[in-house]
Amino acid sequence: MTTAGPLEIKPERFGRYVLLDRIGIGGMAEVFRAVMAGAQGFQRTFVVKRIISERAQSPYFVEMFVREARINAILHHPNIVQVFDFGEVGGTYFLAMEYVRGRDVSALARRLHERERPCPPGVAAFIAHEVAEALAYAHAQTAPDGTPLNVVHRDVSPSNIICQRTGGVKLLDFGIAQGLGEPEVERSSGGQMFKGKVAYVAPERIMNRAADKRSDLFSLGVVLWELLAGRKLFRAKDDAQTLQNVLEMDIPPPSSIRPDVPPQLDHVVERALARDPAGRYATGYEMAEDLEGVLAGLGYQPRALPALLRELFGGELSSRQIPAASLAAELLAAGAGDPVTGTAPTPSATLLAPQAAPRDYSVPIDGPRHSRWAWWLSGALGSVALIILLVGRGGGRRSLASTVAPPPVPAPVAEPEGSPAVEAAVLPVPLPAPAATPAPANPAPRPVHRTRAKGKGRIARGLSIDPFAEAASRRDR
């Protein structure tokens, strides 16, 4: 897969996805950065890999693509790029994979060469260690009945190893992976065809012998050697000479090119690059274990890889991030479809049409935005005025007098004739009552309506009442 920089394209609707730019293209498929949009501004970034139109009509290439989907469906490892979706849109098969932010090893090596900088041995060993763990997991997969699946990647190369900006390493592209006794060399209309990149192919594959997990470890050894040496190992001007180099060329130890490479790392490279499969590591776990010892001896720190990526690429690591709010609004306005059902939008929807101003989903209020506080304040004042009006009308004072006693008079005061008997009852010294209307010795308390007393008591205590219930109680009376 060629990944030399993104190719800006017109945003293209593809099923439930929107293809934003093309990341790379190979002999079988092209890869896009894409987004899937949903309701309420939801969106997620994916990598969509779809078979190219020239190959979509070939049963052979379609079967290879489907086989890649089947193999990826059983692989769930933190060092392997996860595949989330597989389907068909308009007769074209596709895979939707996780979008890994970072750079592949080929871009890393190229930038190091441009800066005339060697790759730190610890970083190279760490990358190889993570890939060895991923291969060990894939090689060990079995069917539900326990039968080994014999998965062989067959394309372990710098462009298929991604270094994340957060420090992780992921292996991708099981597109030509072998499994279940598939033949290594197949015939096509063009004659004999090797699968994979010839500069990283194992010798036994060139000699048309059966490939197994040790073939992948040879390819990983080539990647590790090139990271340490800062140059290609077997690549020549043409494929024939490259294949000859794989079979016969002397392989110098990395320390002969870089004295700072420790002998333990030389040993790992030498064993991985043994031309006889019997002399190589039997499993990826064995290679990973030796690399763990190298990393411990070098005192490797996990932050070394992300620090190197930031130093070499800087802001480029974030250059493909999507402005979430604007893009989500753009996709939804264009009719992104249902992300669950995959409902396609109407044919007239286009991402390039001028977009309307963002909608305001706040509570609709008449008038300009700056008057909303005034609106709320006037409403509150209106409610207070309504409560006061209801209290003052229809016996509001009677209810208040019946529940709250008047303050005591500090000294006897002569009252004129005709003063209410109810007020005389609260004086500390009894006063003679008027002859015309003698007051009873024990005046009966005035009956109070419990509903009104309850509401007015809340007013007296500074609490709120229900003005509508209060008005209804007055109508009942």
pLDDT of residue 377: 60
* Per-residue H/E/C for 356-419: CCCCCCCCCCCCCHHHHHHHHHHHHHHHHHHHHHHHHCCCHHHHHHHHCCCCCCCCCCCCCCCC
Cβ atoms of residues 178 and 211 within 8 Å:
yes
Both 298 and 325 in a single domain?
no
Residue 45 belongs to what H/E stretch? strand 43-51
Residue 57 class from Cβ within 10 Å (0-12 exposed, 13-18 middle, 19+ buried)? exposed
Catalytic residue among 85, 104, 155, 476: 155
Both 64 and 120 in a single domain?
no
Q: How far is CA 212 from CA 200, 284, 396, 401, in A?
A: 15, 12, 96, 100
* Per-residue H/E/C for 203-229: HHHHCCCCCCHHHHHHHHHHHHHHHHH
pLDDT of residue 475: 55
Kindly state whether residue 172 falls inside one of the protein's structural domains.
yes
Kindly state whether residue 156 falls inside one of the protein's structural domains.
yes
Cβ atoms of residues 277 and 212 within 8 Å:
yes
Task: Name the residue among 325, 334, 320, 340 with its Cα closest to residue 38.
Answer: 340
Both 77 and 146 in a single domain?
no
Kindly state whether residue 420 falls inside one of the protein's structural domains.
no
Both 257 and 175 in a single domain?
yes
What span, in angstroms and rounded, lies between the C-alpha atoms of 24 and 463? 70
Both 223 and 205 in a single domain?
yes
Angle at 34 between CA 30 and CA 40, to 5 degrees: 165
What span, in angstroms and rounded, lies between the C-alpha atoms of 267 and 367? 78
Both 189 and 300 in a single domain?
yes
Kindly state whether residue 25 falls inside one of the protein's structural domains.
yes
pTM, 2 dp? 0.65
Both 198 and 79 in a single domain?
no
- Domain containing residue 254: CATH number: 1.10.510.10
Both 128 and 54 in a single domain?
no
Cβ atoms of residues 255 and 261 within 8 Å:
yes
What span, in angstroms and rounded, lies between the C-alpha atoms of 456 and 391? 8
Both 117 and 235 in a single domain?
yes
Q: Which of 300, 317, 334 is the last residue of a domain?
A: 317
One pLDDT digit (tens) per residue for the chain, 477 residues: 444 445 556 788 999 999 998 988 877 788 999 998 877 778 889 999 998 887 888 888 888 888 888 888 889 999 999 999 999 998 899 999 999 999 999 999 999 999 999 999 999 999 999 999 999 999 999 988 888 988 999 899 999 999 999 999 999 888 666 554 454 444 333 344 455 689 999 999 999 888 899 999 999 999 999 999 999 999 999 999 999 999 999 999 999 999 999 999 999 999 999 999 999 999 999 999 999 999 999 999 999 999 999 999 987 776 544 433 344 335 434 444 433 334 443 332 323 333 333 333 333 333 444 444 554 565 666 666 666 665 555 544 444 344 444 445 444 444 444 444 333 333 344 444 445 545 555 555 555 444 444 444 454 444 445 555 555 555 555
Total number of domains in the chain: 3
Kindly state whether residue 433 falls inside one of the protein's structural domains.
no
Kindly state whether residue 369 falls inside one of the protein's structural domains.
no
Tokens of 468: 């509508």
Cβ atoms of residues 401 and 395 within 8 Å:
no
Kindly state whether residue 414 falls inside one of the protein's structural domains.
no
Both 164 and 57 in a single domain?
no
Q: Tell me the torsion sign for CA atoms 287, 288, 289, 295.
A: positive
Q: How far is CA 176 from CA 70, 194, 220, 396, in A?
A: 12, 10, 16, 89
Cβ atoms of residues 112 and 230 within 8 Å:
yes
Tell me which residue range forms the domain holding 291.
Answer: 102-317
Both 85 and 214 in a single domain?
no
155 is catalytic: yes
Kindly state whether residue 408 falls inside one of the protein's structural domains.
no
Cβ atoms of residues 100 and 164 within 8 Å:
yes
Beta-strand relationship, 17-25 and 102-104: unpaired
- Domain containing residue 68: CATH number: 3.30.200.20
Q: Kindly give the interhelix angle for 450-460 and 467-476, rounded to the nearest 10 degrees.
A: 150
SS3 at position 436: coil
Both 386 and 298 in a single domain?
no
> Which contacts of 419-426 are long-range, i.e. CB under 8 A and separated by 24 or more positions?
none
